[in-house]
Structure 1
Amino acid sequence: MAEEARAQGAEVDLLQIPEILSDEIRGKMHAAPRAEVPEVSPQDLTKYDGFLFGMPTRYGRAPAAVSAFFDATGGLWATGALVGKFAGVFTSTASQHGGQESTALTTLPFFAHHGIVFVPIGFAAPELTDNSEVVGGSAYGAAGVAGGDGSRAISAKEISVAKFQARSFSNLLATFVAGKTA
Structure 2
Amino acid sequence: MCKVLIVIYSMYGHIYKMAEAAAEGVGEVTECSAIIKRVPETLPGEVLEAMGAVEAQQKLADIPIATVNDLADADAIIFGTPTRFGNMCGQMRQYLDGTGQLWLKGALVGKVGSVFTSSATQHGGQESTILSFHITLLHQGMVVVGLPYSFAGQMGVTEITGCSPYGASTIAGGQGERMPSENELAGARYQAAHVARIALKLKG
Asked whether the 8 Å contact 2:112–2:198 carries over to 1, the reply is no
| 1:4 Cα deviation after fit | 2.2
Q: Which has the higher strand share?
A: 2
* Corresponding position: 1:33 with 2:60: no
Asked whether the 8 Å contact 1:30–1:149 carries over to 2, the reply is no
* Corresponding position: 1:93 with 2:127: no
Q: Which runs of 5+ in 1 are unaligned?
A: none
**Which structure ranks higher in relative contact order (CA pairs < 8 Å, sequence separation ≥ 6)?**
2
In the alignment, the residues of structure 2 paired with residue 15 and residue 49 of structure 1 have an alpha-carbon distance, to the nearest angstrom, of: 15
Q: Which residue of 2 aligns with 1:148?
A: 174
Which SS does the other structure have where 1:33 is aligned?
A: helix
Normalising by structure 2, report the TM-score.
Answer: 0.82
Which one-letter code corresponds to 2:57 in the other structure?
P
| 1:82 Cα deviation after fit | 1.0
Of the candidates 8, 14, 20, which is equivalent to residue 36 of structure 2?
A: 14
Equivalent pairs, count: 178
Asked whether the 8 Å contact 1:30–1:150 carries over to 2, the reply is no
Q: Which residue of 2 aligns with 1:52?
A: 78
Of the candidates 112, 115, 127, which is equivalent to residue 141 of structure 2?
A: 115
C-alpha distance 127-28 of structure 1, shift in aligned 2 (>3 A): farther
C-alpha distance 46-146 of structure 1, shift in aligned 2 (>3 A): same
Describe the superposition over 1:70-113 as per-residue Cα deviations: whole angstroms up to 9, x where unpaired. 11111111111111111100111101001110110121221111
Aligned sequence identity (%): 36
Normalising by structure 1, report the TM-score.
Answer: 0.91
Q: Which runs of 5+ in 2 are unaligned?
A: 1-21
Describe the superposition over 1:127-146 as per-residue Cα deviations: whole angstroms up to 9, x where unpaired. 11111110111111111101
In the alignment, the residues of structure 2 paired with residue 87 and residue 124 of structure 1 have an alpha-carbon distance, to the nearest angstrom, of: 19
| 1:7 Cα deviation after fit | 2.3
In the alignment, the residues of structure 2 paired with residue 164 and residue 106 of structure 1 have an alpha-carbon distance, to the nearest angstrom, of: 22
Q: Which residue of 1 aligns with 2:9?
A: none
